Amino acid sequence: MDFRSVKTCCQLKCYDIIDCGRQKSFFLGFSELQSKNDKDNFLVRCLEATLPQQVNTTFKRKTLALYSWKYYCVLQNKKLQVCMNFLLSVLQIGRKRLRTIQGKFSRGITVMRDQRGHHNNRPRTISDEVWDMVEKHWASLPHSESHYSSAKSSKKYFKSVDQISLPFQSSLV
């Protein structure tokens, strides 16, 4: 990603508070991190959650806001408050990524860990032993190479439609 300087964001004019050089060093501090975990933890340091002082009861929402969020640009251990649009624009990330981190934070997860591919919610996964048995069964059935492009392919095909009844006939005998 190439750095893009932010020139518009909000009424507070965060881009005037943090000049182009600081924006670039903040962006490079984020973009040079290698893993998603490191980047998510960087973003957590840029957020601060507070309980809302009052809740608007006239506006009906599906869920009430649990936290009021403040966003910071952290440079040399100094926190400078900025708006959300400025933070998203400087780091070149989307709102969804920030909402995901805020959701994890509100559930009590303070150190972000990437869980992609580490779940065990696949109860229908077939074990290796079962696959070995299936391959042995397939090898026991009569098969031949295809007559269409057998020179190009090493695939083997079962010989006829009678294959469905063949295993049952052998078990009845």
Instruction: Kindly indicate the confidence band of residue 52, based on its pLDDT and cuts at 50, 70 and 90.
Output: confident
Q: What is the pLDDT of residues 103-136, one digit of tens each?
A: 888 888 877 777 777 777 777 778 889 999 999 9
Query: What value does the mean pLDDT take over residues 1-15?
Result: 87
Q: Domain residues of the chain, as ranges?
A: 14-106, 130-168
Q: Exposed, middle or buried by CB within 10 Å (0-12, 13-18, 19+), for 126? A: exposed
Could you list the beta-strand ranges (E) of the chain: 47-50, 68-75, 78-82, 143-145, 156-158
Average confidence score pLDDT of the chain? 83
Q: Residue 166: what pLDDT? A: 60
Is the per-residue pLDDT at 168 higher than 70? no
Query: Which one, of 70, 71, 72, 75, lies nearest residue 21 by Cα?
Result: 75
**CA gap 101, 88 in Å, rounded:** 13
Instruction: Kindly indicate the confidence band of residue 157, based on its pLDDT and cuts at 50, 70 and 90.
Output: confident
Is the per-residue pLDDT at 162 higher than 70? no
Is the per-residue pLDDT at 64 higher than 70? no
Q: Which residues pair with 69 in a beta bridge?
A: 49
Q: Which residue has better confidence, 103 or 62?
A: 103
**CA gap 37, 51 in Å, rounded:** 26
pTM as predicted: 0.63
Is the per-residue pLDDT at 33 higher than 90? yes
